Amino acid sequence: MDLPPEFLELYARLDRQGPGVPDDVLWATGRLGLAGPLRVCDEGCGTGADCATLAACLPEARIEGVDAMPAFVEAAETRLEAVPNVSVRTGDMGALEGPFDLIWSAGAIYFLGVIEGLRAWREALAPGGAVAFSQGVLPEGEVPQAVRDFWSAEPDITDQDGLLAQVEAAGYAVIDTRWLTATPWAAYYDSLEREIAALRPGASAAMTEVLDGAAREIALWRQAPEQIAYLLVLARPR
Ligand SMILES: C[S@@+](CC[C@H](N)C(=O)[O-])C[C@H]1O[C@@H](n2cnc3c(N)ncnc32)[C@H](O)[C@@H]1O
């Protein structure tokens, strides 16, 4: 991934780089009945928000965050330095070495492709291990234009049935799903909006372009916050 330094500067300041709240992690680990000395990977961990939650709710587990962007890994390391059961490294989430009892991944699998990513992760799962990932989905029924506009850069986006068919095609059985709308997105975009405002004064032309792009994304989301969704999917290899 070749991202401009201005993009990294903006997003490395954020608590997280995509929609999500700690309750998503708590729901997933509770629903999967996870406890004890497990090995857990957070794929595409960004600045480590979910590593922190995983470490707190699974205190006997070892949490390993992986992200392709050194700037995000550095921010994650700083934020997590006092947390004993977490380590974070720069790496490729398509080339994992397990075995992991849980592979968690919020808003990142689309970089690999859902089927490709799940197939790659299957090799890194311990027997009985599970994946928990969130991915953008279209709402049921007729899709409003505002939702299509928001997802216009994601031509392969599908609806819940389409996503779950991909999970099955990758050789997994779906355990449960949870819709993420409104609140987890507001948490993310409110923090992004604050950082946009903080960086505006005296911003270079390149930074202004990045800030304008981020502000456009927020404005598109505000047109349909109840219908712009991630689906959090829990699944195990069949
Ligand atoms: C939308 S962000 C989500 C970050 C984090 N999971 C969160 O929810 O805050 C997607 C993350 O995936 C990372 N990423 C993309 N492709 C990757 C790859 N091949 N290997 C590792 N990380 C990758 C990006 O650097 C980015 O931090």
Distance 46 CA to ligand 1 centre (A): 5
Instruction: Extract the residue ranges of the chain whose pLDDT is less than 70.
Output: none
Cβ burial 71-109 (10 Å sphere, 16+ → b, else e): bbbebbbebbeebebbebeebebeebebebbbbbbbbbb
Let me know: does 100 contact 126? Beta carbons within 8 Å: yes
Asked if residue 69 has its Cβ within 6 Å of ligand 1, the reply is yes
Strand 100-106 relative to strand 62-67, pairing: unpaired
Distance 18 CA to ligand 1 centre (A): 9
Please tell me the total number of residues recorded for the chain in this structure.
238
Strand order in the sheet with 100-106: 86-90, 62-67, 39-43, 100-106, 125-137, 229-237, 172-180
Q: What is the pLDDT of residues 54-71, one digit of tens each?
A: 999 999 999 999 999 999
pTM over 0.75: yes
Q: Whose CA is nearest to atom 4 of ligand 1?
A: 46
Asked if residue 20 has its Cβ within 6 Å of ligand 1, the reply is yes
Distance 95 CA to ligand 1 centre (A): 14
pLDDT at 2: 82
pLDDT at 47: 98
Determine the residue type at 227.
Q
CATH architecture designation of domain 14-184+228-237: 3-Layer(aba) Sandwich (3.40)
Asked if residue 65 has its Cβ within 6 Å of ligand 1, the reply is no
Asked if residue 184 has its Cβ within 6 Å of ligand 1, the reply is no
The first and second tokens of residue 7, run together, are: 């993009």
Distance 47 CA to ligand 1 centre (A): 9
Calpha distance 231→209 (Å, rounded): 30
The domain limits of the chain are 14-184+228-237
pLDDT at 216: 98
pLDDT at 32: 98
- Residue 23: other Cβ atoms inside 10 A: 13
